[in-house]
Structure 1
Amino acid sequence: GYSPGTDPTLGTDKIFVRDFVLPVQMGAYSFEHGHTQKVRFDVTADVLQVTDHPEDMRHVFSYDIIMDGIRTIVARGHVQLSEALAEQVATYILENPRVVRVTVRVEKLELGPGGVGVEIERKRQAAGRGVASGPAGRKGQIAASQPRQERPEAIR
């Protein structure tokens, strides 16, 4: 939908969806194929403010955007890994230019006495460079896919 321009001097708001449970076709093991399992999503997005006096929906980033995005991704069908599902959700949310950072937690609820899963954090890269993706966008990881550039004297 329509969103007015942002003002970086206003800071960010945290928009969150917690304990959002959906039936999901997910899992790498054969016993997980062919049926759904309950998966809980917790998502927090740091969103640039457009005004310090929000008065209508154009001034806010609706949590419905997050929930609808998760529903859309889940509806695509089977996902092998929790990590892949979390990455897809993070990428979808970071497509909105107001979102500067997102934390996504994906938790399978039927594999034991508690939940098991993954939590990821992704950030928008510097202006004009798009969203963080792949190894270079991952917190605490080195971009292994980039070839190492050596100086000619180091090669000899």
Structure 2
Amino acid sequence: MSNTLLTPALARCRRLFLRNHVVDINIGAHAFEQGHPQRVRINVDLYVPLACSTPVDDHLGEVVDYDFVREAVRERVGRGHIQLQETLADDLLRALLAHPQVLAARVSTEKPDVYPDCEAVGVEVFAFKDGVTAGALGPQA
């Protein structure tokens, strides 16, 4: 079980996820990385209160659409070269938390082609929306 599920604020949330979304990104701080897109694998978890993500009429408008996550990635990547994975993860996290229904989010980025002796190098970040604390029951409690 994920430790985040033990957090009271997330107990009444639905977790939406995007797994292993692979995009070619102009990313890297080293000179040899400039101008050469690299594969980056992105994983996202969104925590949305059940009270605003449980469909009644089985319509897409009643939930957070997965296209929102892919669009956030596309928009950030489209802005141009990114030096650091930390910057990419932080920018995505801010964009995802801006959605009115998202209470918390986790973003990880991985570069799978950096070193021949490991699967990937990456970074992960997790945050609650401003004004929500880990011990809170959240706005929909």
* Pair 1:14 & 2:15 matched: yes
Partner of 1:56: 59
Q: Tell me the TM-score normalized by structure 2.
A: 0.79
Residues in 2 aligned to 1:88 and 1:119: alpha-carbon distance in whole angstroms: 12
The answer as to whether partners of 2:55 and 2:63 remain within 8 angstroms in 1 is no
1:96-120 deviation line (CA, Å, top 9, x unaligned): 1111110000101110131101011
* Pair 1:85 & 2:55 matched: no
Q: Tell me the TM-score normalized by structure 1.
A: 0.72
The within-5 A match list for 1:67-106 is: 67-106=70-109
Identity %: 32
Letter in 1 for 2:109: V
For structure 2, the 5+ residue unaligned runs are 1-8, 134-141
- Size of the aligned set, in residue pairs, is 120
> What is the CA distance between 1:51 and its match in structure 2?
5.6
Structure 1 segments of 4+ aligned residues over 4 angstroms from their partners: none
Partner of 1:46: 47
Higher relative CO (CA 8 A, sep ≥ 6), structure 1 or 2?
2
Q: Secondary structure at the match of 1:99?
A: coil
The answer as to whether partners of 2:14 and 2:53 remain within 8 angstroms in 1 is no
Q: Secondary structure at the match of 2:95?
A: helix
Partner of 1:145: none
Partner of 2:68: 65
Residues in 1 aligned to 2:55 and 2:67: alpha-carbon distance in whole angstroms: 21
Residues in 2 aligned to 1:87 and 1:61: alpha-carbon distance in whole angstroms: 20
Residues in 1 aligned to 2:62 and 2:69: alpha-carbon distance in whole angstroms: 16
The answer as to whether partners of 2:22 and 2:41 remain within 8 angstroms in 1 is yes
> What is the CA distance between 1:48 and its match in structure 2?
2.1
Aligned alpha-carbon RMSD (Å): 2.0
